[in-house]
Structure formats: structure tokens, C-alpha cells
Amino acid sequence: MADLSINLAGIKSPNPFWLASAPPTNSGYQVQRAFEAGWGGAVWKTLGEPILNVSSRFAAISFNGQRVMGFNNIELITDRPLEENLKEIYETKKRFPDRAVVASLMVEPKREKWHEIVKRVEDVGVDGLELNFGCPHGMAERGMGSASGQVPELVERQTYWVKEVARTPVIVKLTPNITDITATAEAAAQGGADAISLINTINSLMGVDLDTWNTIPHVAGKGAHGGYCGPAVKPIALNMVAECARHPRIRIPISGIGGISNWRDAVEFMLMGATGVQVCTAVMHHGFRIIEDMIEGLNHYLDEKGIASVMDIVGKSVSKYSDWGDLDLNYKVVARIHRERCIQCNKCYISCEDASHQCIERLVDENGKEYLKVREEDCVGCNLCSIVCPVDGAIEMVEVPSEHPPMTWNERQAALGRLSGCSVDIKSL
């Protein structure tokens, strides 16, 4: 059995699965039950100045029969007294000394405010701090959360203030509601952050009730934008984690967050550079016990690969992620339809004919039976037919030899620049 323990910037836990700062980590009762179930760590629901929450806070979107494909909330940070939270954090850490207990913090962007809360929280024995620069609603309107997290200078400055007094590792949680998340990630690193976590929730409006015309959710007939999370945001989060992992000036560990629902998702995030992962929506949907399948699945995966430690997979796919201009223009794949598996639903034909390159033909064999075939010389390898096909393995994307050597767009442009004054036929490039 593989070693599942991780070390994120000095914060150790028996496995890479942490609960994200959210409703499931709102109290000691919940966090302790999660640890009993097997979770390796938890980031406590964000602590700060006293706030008031509203009633009717959550909404979800389902797709094709899958419940909670996306999740929206307009809940703020903890509405429980700081003293009560600190007492429960102390009790939880004392009872589970081997688990990672991280305190999420959010205060006004003032040096003395950060110094005060950091000292109070560290006194109860937390393993680390997570600075919440990501919450997009409510708190942002007060100059905190993503309002700070969208300004690199504020991220760097507040991180520096925290590092002035912090004795434990400092993780900076980043907002995705920004043009380039690497700008704030770099600012966090320059401010002295020991690690970054991403992503927080995405600005969203879940929907509108077609009968009442109220937003979903609504509070007495009025709504506001909230934070979007759940399986639907995973590709966005994975890209942002990868961009930070491959950035040359962001050389600090990453805690991956966003749409992680099972062990497979976790492995993808770790391959793209995350040392560990945080989970929220999946727990709100299915409960703490999902950790059992996550641990078992990860163990089996590592054993099948012959990998001794989960830390050995961190970042292994980062070098495979690049810019479009570095992709080989002469690499080619084509679609091939396996007749023995095809059920003649014509989904691939319709998609190709209406939305792609019209290279699937409907033919009739010598026995009068219809079948589908790809004109490979016209296929551009877009993958659409294999994506819409309802039968696994019925359509295969196959690599075919190219008559040209590998060449990227950047290489092509460089060659054109060198040859622009020569007599060489540059159209051949």
C-alpha cells in the first residue's frame, strides 16, 4: 500500500484530502466527525469580524439527471463568535494531533487587524493559516475577500503583514475572478506566502424563476451574485492550478480546489502541480463518508502504477502543459468508427455534418446494411464525433503519420521571419 501522507509547505497530513473552508468546517463537531471518517485535514470556515448572514443561501443546477452539477452560495464567513471557534479548534487539534487543522482568516486590509487575529488563532495550536482573498460576495463589498484578491499589490502587502507575526505556514487563497490568476499568485509569493490555494468560487447568478421572476436563490424577492463551485468548475480550476504550477516565478506549493468530487479528480490536480486538494461541494452533496472511496481509489491507483508515495505524482504532468503556439501543427489524428460497436444512432454524423467538417459518410454495404465511415483525408481530428458518441469504444481517435516534420506555430513564425527576404517558397512552411 502506498504512502498517502503529504507535506504542504510544512503542514503534514496522513492523506492529501482536506475539507475546504466552507459550511462543512463550520464547527468542531463537524470537523471532528470528518476526521473520524478519515479526512486528512480541514480548513476551518473563515474567521473574522462578526457578520450577519441571510436566509435562503444556496442554489444548485442539475444537468442531464445529475444533481448538483454546479452549486451557488451567498453565505458569508462564520457567523459564530471567534472565541467559540477558537475553543473548538483547540479541542479538535488536541483530539486529532495527526490531522492538519488550518484556520481561514479574513479581516480588513489593515496591518493591526491581521496581526491581532493571527496571534489569537495561532495561540490555539493551528497547523497553518489560509488568507481568504477569494470570497466574491458580501465581504468583497466591504473591501475584503476578492476585493483584496483582485489587486496584486494588496495581496502582496497583506501577505507580508501576516508573515511579520505568523509562526505557522501561510497559505494564500486566490480568487478566480481575475484576468490572470498568476499575477496574484506571484504577488502572494513575493509577499512571503509559503503556499497558495486555488480556486475560490466564481461570480455567478444561478438562475431566474420563470413563474415569479425572482432570482435563485432570493431573499424576500431580491437576489445578489454568489460564488459558483462544484463539478462544473473543475476544468477552470485545473487550468488555473496548472498555470500557477508552470509559472517560473511561482515556486511555492499549491493546494488545489474546485470541483473535486472523487479520487480521480484529486489525481488530476496533483499531476498538474497540487500537493494536496480541498473538497467542499461533494461533501455537501454526499456527506463525509465519500472519503472512504477517495482513499481506497487513490491507494489502488498508486499500487497499480507501482508508485510508493502520493508525493511522487505531484507535478508530473506540468511539463506537458504549454501554450498553443508550442503545439505541433503537423501532428494528426483522425476518427475511426468501429462498425461492430456502432448502434447507428447517427449522433456522430449529425454533429459532424452540422457543427464540424462534414467528413462522415452514410454508406450501404453489399448486404444493404447502412453504416458510417469517416473520410480520413478530410477529418481534422477535432474529436467531436467521439465526444457525442454514447457507446464507449465505438469511435477511436487514431494518430496517423505526417509527411511533415514536427513544427509549432512559434517555430513557423520564426522561420518565416528568417526567410522573408530569401527566394525560398515560404508557402511550403
Identify whether 198 is part of a domain.
yes
303 lies in the same domain as 339: no
Q: How confident is the model at residue 140 (pLDDT cuts 50, 70, 90)?
A: confident
Which residues, 6 or more positions from 280, have their beta carbon under 8 angstroms from its beta carbon?
19, 20, 22, 23, 24, 229, 257
Q: Which domain holds residue 238?
A: 6-318
Cell matching residue 258: 474546485
Which residues, 6 or more positions from 125, have their beta carbon under 8 angstroms from its beta carbon?
89, 90, 93, 94, 101
The pLDDT of 125-149, averaged and rounded, is: 85
Cell matching residue 303: 499500487
287 lies in the same domain as 362: no
pLDDT in tens, 297-313: 999 999 999 999 999 99
The reported pLDDT for the residue numbered 412 is 94
51 lies in the same domain as 111: yes
Q: How confident is the model at residue 138 (pLDDT cuts 50, 70, 90)?
A: low
Query: 135 an active-site residue?
Result: yes
Identify whether 408 is part of a domain.
no
Query: Would you give the distance in Å from CA 348 to the centre of its chain?
Result: 30
**Residue 325 confidence (pLDDT) above 80:** yes
pLDDT in tens, 64-110: 888 999 999 988 899 999 999 999 999 999 999 999 999 999 999 99
Distance between CA atoms of residues 301 and 89, nearest Å? 33
Identify whether 423 is part of a domain.
no
173 lies in the same domain as 311: yes
350 lies in the same domain as 292: no
Percentage of the chain beyond pLDDT 90 is 89
384 lies in the same domain as 303: no
Mean pLDDT value across the chain: 94
pLDDT in tens, 360-405: 999 999 999 999 999 999 999 999 999 999 999 999 999 999 999 9
Q: Which CATH number characterizes residue 375's domain?
A: 3.30.70.20
44 lies in the same domain as 152: yes
The reported pLDDT for the residue numbered 428 is 53
Identify whether 421 is part of a domain.
no
Which of 318, 346, 369 is the last residue in one of the domains?
Answer: 318
Identify whether 271 is part of a domain.
yes
295 lies in the same domain as 377: no
358 lies in the same domain as 249: no
268 lies in the same domain as 356: no
Identify whether 341 is part of a domain.
yes
Which of 318, 340, 357 is the last residue in one of the domains?
Answer: 318
**Residue 345 confidence (pLDDT) above 80:** yes
Q: Are strands 6-8 and 276-279 parallel, antiparallel or unpaired?
A: unpaired
Identify whether 126 is part of a domain.
yes
pLDDT in tens, 201-213: 999 999 999 999 9
Q: What is the end-to-end Cα distance of the chain in Å, rounded?
A: 52
> What's the whole-model pTM score?
0.94
Q: How far is CA 158 from CA 111, 148, 338, 418, in A?
A: 7, 9, 58, 48
Report how many domains make up the chain: 2
The reported pLDDT for the residue numbered 388 is 97
**Residue 422 confidence (pLDDT) above 70:** no
Percentage of the chain beyond pLDDT 70 is 97
pLDDT in tens, 235-287: 999 999 999 999 999 999 999 999 999 999 999 999 999 999 999 999 999 99
Distance between CA atoms of residues 167 and 128, nearest Å? 8
The reported pLDDT for the residue numbered 426 is 47
The pLDDT of 4-20, averaged and rounded, is: 98
Cell matching residue 291: 472519503
Identify whether 254 is part of a domain.
yes
Report whether 253 contacts 195 (CB < 8 A): yes
65 lies in the same domain as 168: yes
Q: Which CATH number characterizes residue 139's domain?
A: 3.20.20.70
Name which residue leads in pLDDT, 4 or 426.
Answer: 4
Which of 279, 303, 318 is the last residue in one of the domains?
Answer: 318
Of 135, 229, 379, 385, which residue is the catalytic one? 135
187 lies in the same domain as 262: yes
